Structure 1
Amino acid sequence: MSDSQINKGVSVISEEVCQQVMGRANAFTAVENVFSAMAKKTAYNFPVIREAIGHADALYGFKSGFDREGMVLGLKSGGYWPSNMAKGLTNHQSTVILFDPDTGKLKSLVGGNYLTAVRTAASSAISIAYLARKDVKVLGMIGAGHQSTFQLRAAVEQRNFEKVVCWNLHPEHISNLAAVAEELGLPFESVTREELCAQADVIITITSAFEALIEKDWIKPGTHIACMGTDTKGKQEVDAKLLTVAKVFTDELAQSITIGEAQHAIARKLIQQSDIVPIGEVINGTKPGRTSAEDITLFDGTGVGLQDLAVAALAAELAEAKGLATYFKL
């Protein structure tokens, strides 16, 4: 923390300011860098705390960590309130708290709702960039909630998709995703889950499901799947047997096998921990990603605290440089 910031106090970066300063390209680079640092063991996440609080059907918790390369220390506090949409709020609510690694002093408070959406989308986009075939044409979206529009916008920047197909548990919510596809100039179709798998070359699952929505036998060779919704014990989006025929990658191994999509295949001893590759290894070139056009690749995006810290630290830096931060002293 510089002397000038110490004099100003703690910076506060609002949701509105985060939206002004943090774009998809910035988020992609920040998350890519932190995945690389995690693979090199220069950044690490602390154990996640995530619990059902017994009120409003909410899940609440903390994700935290330290990036020694980026000198970023902090935590994200928040969770999932499923009834928020009816109140005009997003279901995911969070705040990122950054500390000075040299002194432990509180450094910044950063709105986490928008940043959670863009960093999650950046994560799946990175998986597409490194693992999907170059000639993919059809993008499949399982889920049409708030985060799905962020996922769609980020995904189409990685490949030349020609069509989007979608399934959602509540079909009435699909119109929001359809509107984004239209804005992007992409044909859009609402289909069954089985038909989606038959058409899609890349599939993004972004739901809060606790049961498999995709069966192993529905997936065609060469498909890339980004499982982005499973981040809690018991959640599940795809058939556990699918992980036995896919090359499996993840953001963080420890979370993948305990709270991520791989938890079910691991629990049933269908795969071993050694079968899962951190995507940072692929980014760094120390492990291969896709090795043939026939490979089925699956990215288990559990969502790590270091992602949140990376985008929040960058948002704070950009906001402070542009004079958009506000300050207070404790």
Structure 2
Amino acid sequence: MLQKPDTDGLVIVTEEICQKVIDRDLAFAAVRDVFGAMARGDAYNFPVIREAIGHEDALYGFKSGFDKAGMVLGVKAGGYWPNNMAKGIINHQSTVFLFDPDTGKLKALVGGNYLTAIRTAASSAVSIDQLARKDAKVLGMVGAGHQSTFQLRAAVEQRDFEKVVCWNPHPDMIPNLGKVAAEIGIPFEAVSREELGAQSDVIITITSAFEPLIEAGYIKPGTHLACMGTDTKGKQEVAAELVAKATLFTDEVAQSTTIGETQHAIASGAITQDDVTPIGKVINGDHPGRTSDDEITLFDGTGVGLQDLAVAAVAAEQAVATGAATRVSL
């Protein structure tokens, strides 16, 4: 919970400060706790606004919500600028605005780029912690872009993985992820999609695909998939047949079934909303999660505003506590 500062004014936490005060452990705890609060009905997201602005091929929008348990209220504004990499900056750009729930006053502005990356990785890590087999040894990465490096670092902390295998639509990007694996000290291999499915006990998909990259026949029994790239109507990373075959979990059911990975299986009638369980129910002990070693589990990580607000609130609290935040009088 963002503690009220001793003096009035706006707290500003820059991207640089966020990287200093928020690590993977803090992000993991914040995301896990807010998923639990959502499942209890103590926190809820507001409808997402996401629009193509007709300039630079950009998507821009707002994700917001209120966590009554943590007393965190706010909105993340930002989006995806696909041409940014050519300009030397990352494609995803965002800022989080936090408000005092008691008064409505703006209390903090927090850089959202690093936090978006680390909270997305924390989300898949929570799903691995809760749903993957305890003896999982091979991690499969589908995607090798900027976000994949965060995903890899967070995932390997959840199980004793002995190897990472990777496939990416653009093979020239794979060595960048291989460098991160080398830094961690885990063997890394680029493989075909079929071989990735055959080897992997856990698979993270983190692409911007609009067609299935992983077919049901690629996956062996007992695999856990964390599908993290689909967050817009029309996007898709895995075959609807695979979605229908798996036991399904998500951050938020309404978002999953409309803009997440389950949207296509829903549209075909292969599954219904009742087949998708909020992962917060597993965290709270209200759902058993995985029930057998042969079960295929799938977490649809669509990315909800409350994740951003949760980590931003912790970042603001940590920045205030350490004296790293900037204060501006309103």
1:23 partner letter: D
Aligned to 1:312: 312
Deviations 1:218-270 (A, max 9, x none): 11100000000001111110001111110000000010011100111101111
| Aligned equivalents of 1:40, 1:128: Cα separation in 2 | 21
- Map 1:114-153 → 2, pairs under 5 A: 114-153=114-153
| Aligned equivalents of 2:237, 2:106: Cα separation in 1 | 38
Residue 173 (1) aligns with residue 173 (2) = yes
Counterpart pick for 1:4 among 6, 16, 19: 6
| Aligned equivalents of 2:100, 2:109: Cα separation in 1 | 12
Residue 232 (1) aligns with residue 226 (2) = no
Q: CA deviation at 1:139?
A: 0.4
Aligned to 1:197: 197
Identity percentage of aligned residues:
73
Tell me the secondary structure at the aligned position of residue 4 of structure 1. coil
Say whether the 8 Å CA contact 2:5–2:320 is kept in structure 1.
no
- Map 1:30-69 → 2, pairs under 5 A: 30-69=30-69
Q: CA deviation at 1:58?
A: 1.1
Aligned to 2:303: 303
Aligned to 1:25: 25
Q: CA deviation at 1:2?
A: 3.6
Aligned to 2:266: 266
| Aligned equivalents of 2:328, 2:139: Cα separation in 1 | 45
| Aligned equivalents of 1:2, 1:16: Cα separation in 2 | 22
| Aligned equivalents of 1:181, 1:4: Cα separation in 2 | 43
Q: CA deviation at 1:3?
A: 6.5
Tell me the secondary structure at the aligned position of residue 102 of structure 1. coil
| Aligned equivalents of 1:128, 1:91: Cα separation in 2 | 26
| Aligned equivalents of 2:313, 2:244: Cα separation in 1 | 38
The two structures, once aligned, show a CA RMSD in angstroms of 0.8
Aligned to 2:215: 215
Q: CA deviation at 1:57?
A: 1.3
Aligned to 2:102: 102
Aligned to 2:287: 287
| Aligned equivalents of 1:236, 1:55: Cα separation in 2 | 24
Q: CA deviation at 1:123?
A: 0.3
* Structure 2 unaligned regions, length at least 5: none
Aligned to 1:113: 113
2:30 partner letter: A
| Aligned equivalents of 1:233, 1:55: Cα separation in 2 | 20
Say whether the 8 Å CA contact 2:45–2:65 is kept in structure 1.
yes
1:302 partner letter: T
- Count of equivalent residues: 328
Aligned to 1:91: 91
Deviations 1:22-75 (A, max 9, x none): 000000000000000000000000000111111111111100000001000000
| Aligned equivalents of 1:279, 1:138: Cα separation in 2 | 23
| Aligned equivalents of 2:192, 2:58: Cα separation in 1 | 29
| Aligned equivalents of 1:114, 1:269: Cα separation in 2 | 37
Deviations 1:84-123 (A, max 9, x none): 1111101110000000000000000000000000000000
Deviations 1:277-309 (A, max 9, x none): 000000001011000000000000000000000
| Aligned equivalents of 1:5, 1:219: Cα separation in 2 | 56
Tell me the secondary structure at the aligned position of residue 221 of structure 2. coil
**Would the alpha carbon gap of residues 242 and 323 (structure 1) be closer, same or farther in structure 2, given more than 3 Å must change?**
same
Tell me the secondary structure at the aligned position of residue 164 of structure 1. strand
Aligned to 2:159: 159
